[in-house]
Amino acid sequence: MDQQTALSLVQAAKYLGAGIATVGVAGAGAGIGILFGQFVNAAIRNPEAAKTQTGNLFVGMALSEATAIFALGIAMLVLFG
């Protein structure tokens, strides 16, 4: 195949790869949802202790979100690298 077709093929593969890499973000959505759900559940039972645990909540959210950002980062690397 000639140069132009090869380049278009690579570009199409890049778009495809970036789209597939974004599927990994679903895990973080589930994780953060579980985390906040458990927090609200426990906060309703024990509102005073909930105030001391909001720090842990945000740490957990950031760590879970990091996995989503890893997947998104791979997508960006594939698309623009």
Partner 1 sequence: MAAGGESPVHQFEVFNLIPIKFGKVDLSFTNSSLWMVIAVAAIVLVMTLGANRRALIPGRLQSLGELGYDFIANLVRENVGSEGKKYFPFIFTLFIFILFCNMLGMIPYSFSVTGQIIVTLALALTVFIGVTIIGIAKNGIGFLRLFAPSGTPVFVLPLLIPIEIISYFVRPVSLSVRLFLNMMVGHTMLQVFAGFVILMGFAGIGPLIFIVVFIGFEFFVAVLQAYIFAILSCLYLHDALHPHH
Q: Site size for partner 1, by CB under 8 A?
A: 14
DSSP per-residue string spanning 23-69: GGHHHHHHHHHHHHHHHHHHHHH-HHHHHHHHHHHHHHHHHHHHHHH
12 binds partner 1 (CB under 8 A): no
**Shortest reach from residue 74's CB to partner 1, in Å:** 9
**Shortest reach from residue 2's CB to partner 1, in Å:** 23
- Residue 24 contacts residue 71 (beta carbons within 8 Å): yes
39 binds partner 1 (CB under 8 A): no
Give the largest Cα separation in the chain, rounded.
Answer: 69
58 binds partner 1 (CB under 8 A): yes
How many CA within 13 A on the CB side of residue 30?
5
72 binds partner 1 (CB under 8 A): yes
Binding residues (CB under 8 A) for partner 1: these are 58-59, 61-63, 65-66, 69-70, 72-73, 76, 79-80
